[in-house]
Amino acid sequence: MFIYTSTNKVYGDAPNYFSYQVKDKRYEPNDPKLYDGFNEGLRIDGVLHTPFGVSKASADLYVQEYARLFGLRAGVFRMGCITGGAAMAVEQHNWEPFFMKKALSDEPLTIYGYGGYQVRDVIHARDLAALFFEFFRNPRPGEAYNIGGSRANSISLLEAIDLIEEITGRRIRYSHGPAREGDHIWYISDISKAKGHFPAWNLTYSHS
C-alpha cells in the first residue's frame, strides 16, 4: 500500500487561464461549469509549474505508472491547503495558522497578489487521513484524486481575515505585496471523483 500526497501544483498555473471576477470579497469564475471546482481533467501541459510543482508532478506520474505497470497498490491525492492542530504557522507554507498567529501577535501581515481576493479550499488533516484510510480499506490502484475542502470550505484571504478577526476580537494589520509567480487566483477542488469511489467518506470539519 502506498499513498502519495501530491498537490494541485501538478496543474501549474492552469487555473489562471480561466476568467474570474470579484464578487464581494472573493474571486469567482465566470464559467458556471467551474462552480464546484477543478476536476482531475485540468491540463498539466503548457503551464508554469515552478521547480517544486515539477518535482511533485514527476512523482505523481511515477506513482500512477508503478501502480499500472507493476500492480503497486498506490493512489495519488492532490491537495492544496491542509490545516489542523499540528500545522506550522510559517509564511508561504500554512497560511491559515500563519494569519491566526499574526492576529494574536499583532505583527503585520503581507498578502501576496490578487488583492486578497484569491480563493482556496481548506481541508482538515483528520478528514484527509480518513480518506486515506478508506483508500487503504478499498484501494483503487493508479487513481489520482483532487482533494480539498471543496466549495463548502472555500475562502478568500480577505474572508479569512474577517473570520479570524471575528474569532479573536483582534485586528490584522496587513499590506499588499507582489503576486508570487504562478500562484493560483482561484482554486477549489472538485472532490466528486473521490466521493464517488469512497462513498463512506465525508468532510466533517468546516471553517466555523
Ligand X SMILES: NC(=O)c1ccc[n+]([C@@H]2O[C@H](COP(=O)([O-])OP(=O)(O)OC[C@H]3O[C@@H](n4cnc5c(N)ncnc54)[C@H](O)[C@@H]3O)[C@@H](O)[C@H]2O)c1
The reply on whether position 79 binds ligand X by CB under 6 A is yes
The one among 42, 63, 81, 158 contacting ligand X by CB under 6 A: 81
Question: Could you give the residue ranges of the DSSP H alpha helices within the chain?
Answer: 50-70, 95-105, 125-137, 157-168, 192-197
Q: Which residues, 6 or more positions from 27, have their beta carbon under 8 angstroms from its beta carbon?
A: 20, 21, 114, 117, 118, 119, 156, 185, 186
Which position among 5, 39, 50, 192 is part of the footprint of ligand X (CB under 6 A)?
A: 5
Q: How far is the CB of 122 from ligand X (least distance, A)?
A: 9
Nearer to ligand X, 2 or 31 (CB): 2
- How many residues make contact with ligand X (CB under 6 A)? 5
Nearer to ligand X, 76 or 111 (CB): 76
Decide: is 82 part of the binding site for ligand X (CB under 6 A): yes
State which residue, 55 or 105, has the beta carbon closest to ligand X: 55
CA distance 6 to 145: 9
Point out which span in 36-44, 74-82, 175-183, 186-194 binds ligand X (CB under 6 A). 74-82
Q: How far is the CB of 43 from ligand X (least distance, A)?
A: 19
Provide the 10 A C-beta neighbour count for residue 148: 27
Outline where 116-180 has alpha helix (H): 125-137, 157-168
CB of 134 to ligand X, least distance (A): 18
CA angle (11 as vertex; 60, 87 as ends), nearest 5:
75
The span of 12-20, 61-69, 75-83, 199-207 binding ligand X (CB under 6 A) equals 75-83
Nearer to ligand X among residue 21 and residue 95 (C-beta): 95
Burial of 39 from C-beta contacts in 10 A (0-12 / 13-18 / 19+): middle
Cα pseudo-dihedral 4, 197, 84, 73, rounded to 10: -20
Site for ligand X in 7-36 (CB under 6 A): 7
Q: Tell me, what amino acid is at 20? A: Y
Q: Which is nearer to ligand X, 13 or 165 (CB)?
A: 13
> Smallest gap, in angstroms, from Cβ of residue 30 to ligand X?
27
* Interface positions with ligand X (CB under 6 A): 5, 7, 79, 81-82
